[in-house]
A and B are shown apart, each in its own frame.
Chain A
Amino acid sequence: MSEHRIKLKVNGEAESATVQGHTTLLRALRSMGHLDVKSSCEAGDCGACAVFLDGEPVNSCLMFAAQANGCEIITVRGIGTEESLHPIQRQIVEKGGVQCGFCTPGIVVSAKALLDKNPNPSRQEIRRELAGNLCRCTGYQKIFDAIEAAAEEIRQ
């Protein structure tokens, strides 16, 4: 059984942890206190655990923590906080795109990745880029409305 000391940046802060070879990045992040990263299917099917890894949105349940050594991670808290919400976060609340809220962190990560690449996405493009994020509560439409509204807000 190997133990590994990993160093990473999370939301701009240098952090380190000791993990085992088989510890997933998701479980490591949560044990480091990043409870805004949600654990749901742990199989890469639901997207609740999505984070940015060196600028790319990924399922954190699909990596061993040791693979993230030296990497930069952004979680939903790094996209915006209660004091300073990102337009995506504000709009998803205002448009009724949050019910239980469990899928929301992963959705915000995927939405941010989309709008960074494509500031004016069509509804179809939004649906495709959010294909990896499941929501059991809202039926998705208000989430897509929120992303459209956020895109417009950012463009202005």
Chain B
Amino acid sequence: MDYLFVESVDEALKAAQSPGVAFLAGGTNLVPDVLFGRKKPDLAVDISRLKELRFIEEHDGRIRIGSLATLTDLLESDVVRTHALPLHECAAEFAGPLVRNRATVGGNLLDASPAADLAPPLLALDGRAELVSLEGKRSLSLDEFFLDYRKTAIRTGELLTAVSVRSLEKEDCSGYCKLQLRRAMAISIVSVALFLRIRGGRCTDVGIGMGAAAPVPYRSVGAENCLRGEIIGKEEILNSANAAREDAKPIDDVRASGAYRRRMCGVLLRRLLQNALNTSTGNLSA
């Protein structure tokens, strides 16, 4: 494998014109993949020191996060903790400190595991992906970004430069729960992220992101539709949990059976909704 260090986005794009090129950021996925022969790029283009892609900023009701922001950056960010709590809670459960110091937001999304930890909170918070190529820029909603198992909408020669999410207001509710077999350093069995806006007693907006419950991370639209516009009570919560179970397409694997995962989609969402609505500020995870 060849290795090339680049000092600008432009240099990175010029070097990445063929399908055999992999961008190298934190390396927490790519390096062991190469070592164990799971990936065989001809060239690794090292973008890890492109400072212009490592930022977290809030502007106009949205939080923009550079693709090279590390998980530690996310965890230590006051902006994220205050205005995108599910993302903070997700970062706290992500791998361990040594990995978090190198793993990046972009890398987690582009590795495109169905269990990609960052995807559910980003989806629940109306996440968007910003991509750049020699032809120009484009952005798309994250729910159009995950196409199929380990396949994203990124094209050869494109660089993911940032993601953005809505910035939560003080009265908004949220939640996050990662079901895992250990308390750290574990791939999720199922993970759920919730955003809930209640105004005048009624749900005016909702986002429910699901991880490890299908070939791709996804928004549980069925579950969201049970809540949007409703005055949420016990019945709406149970309906939403049922819909979350129906939306899931989980598999059996070493960590859990598909049936268990499906059931947990409902259980976790129910808990998050109950927690969110039981407190006046509403920002608790299960």
Are these two chains actual partners, yes or no?
A: yes
Residues of A near any B CB (own CB < 8 A):
1-2, 4, 20-22, 24, 42-45, 47, 50, 56-59, 61-64, 66-67, 69, 110, 113, 128-129, 131-133
Interface pairs (9), CB distance under 8 Å? A2-B3, A21-B1, A22-B1, A43-B32, A58-B98, A58-B101, A62-B31, A132-B95, A132-B96
Q: In the complex, what's the smallest C-beta–C-beta distance from A71 to chain B, in angstroms?
A: 10
Take A21-B2, A21-B3 as given contacts and tell me if A67 and B184 are in contact as well, using a CB distance cutoff of 8 Å. Answer: no
> Complex formed: what's the CA distance from A44 to B1 in Å?
20
> Complex formed: what's the CA distance from A20 to B27 in Å?
16
Residues of B within 8 A of A63 (CB): 27, 31, 102
Judge if B140 is at the interface, Cβ distance under 8 Å.
Answer: no
- B20-54 vs A: 1/0 string, CB under 8 Å? 00001011100110111000000010101000000
B35 & A132 in contact (Cβ 8 Å cutoff): no
Residues of B within 8 A of A42 (CB): 32, 35
How many residues does chain B have at the interface if contact means C-beta atoms less than 8 Å apart? 26
A21 & B44 in contact (Cβ 8 Å cutoff): yes
Take A58-B102, A132-B99 as given contacts and tell me if A44 and B28 are in contact as well, using a CB distance cutoff of 8 Å. Answer: yes
Closest to A22 in B: B1
Judge if B137 is at the interface, Cβ distance under 8 Å.
Answer: no
Q: In the complex, what's the smallest C-beta–C-beta distance from B62 to chain A, in angstroms?
A: 29
* Interface pairs A-B: 5 shortest CB-CB: A132-B96, A21-B3, A131-B184, A132-B98, A131-B96
Within 8 A of A (CB), among B36-80: 36, 44, 46, 48
Q: In the complex, what's the smallest C-beta–C-beta distance from B184 to chain A, in angstroms?
A: 4
Q: In the complex, what's the smallest C-beta–C-beta distance from B89 to chain A, in angstroms?
A: 14
> Complex formed: what's the CA distance from A128 to B28 in Å?
20
Partner of B101, one of A4, A57, A128: A57
> Complex formed: what's the CA distance from A151 to B32 in Å?
34
B98 & A110 in contact (Cβ 8 Å cutoff): yes
> Complex formed: what's the CA distance from A131 to B71 in Å?
15
Judge if B185 is at the interface, Cβ distance under 8 Å.
Answer: yes
> Complex formed: what's the CA distance from A42 to B28 in Å?
11
A129 & B97 in contact (Cβ 8 Å cutoff): yes
B31 & A61 in contact (Cβ 8 Å cutoff): yes
A47 & B98 in contact (Cβ 8 Å cutoff): yes
- B143-161 vs A: 1/0 string, CB under 8 Å? 0000000000000000000
Judge if B260 is at the interface, Cβ distance under 8 Å.
Answer: no
Residues of B within 8 A of A43 (CB): 32, 36
Residues of B within 8 A of A132 (CB): 95-99, 184-185
A113 & B27 in contact (Cβ 8 Å cutoff): no
Closest to A131 in B: B184
Take A42-B32, A67-B27 as given contacts and tell me if A59 and B99 are in contact as well, using a CB distance cutoff of 8 Å. Answer: yes
Extra contacts, 17 of them, besides A67-B5, A131-B96, A132-B98 (Cβ < 8 A), are: A20-B1, A21-B1, A21-B44, A22-B3, A24-B31, A24-B35, A42-B35, A50-B98, A57-B97, A57-B101, A58-B101, A62-B26, A64-B44, A128-B184, A132-B95, A132-B96, A133-B98
B98 & A22 in contact (Cβ 8 Å cutoff): no
> Complex formed: what's the CA distance from A50 to B100 in Å?
13
> Complex formed: what's the CA distance from A50 to B28 in Å?
13
Judge if B183 is at the interface, Cβ distance under 8 Å.
Answer: yes
Partner of A64, one of B27, B101, B183: B27
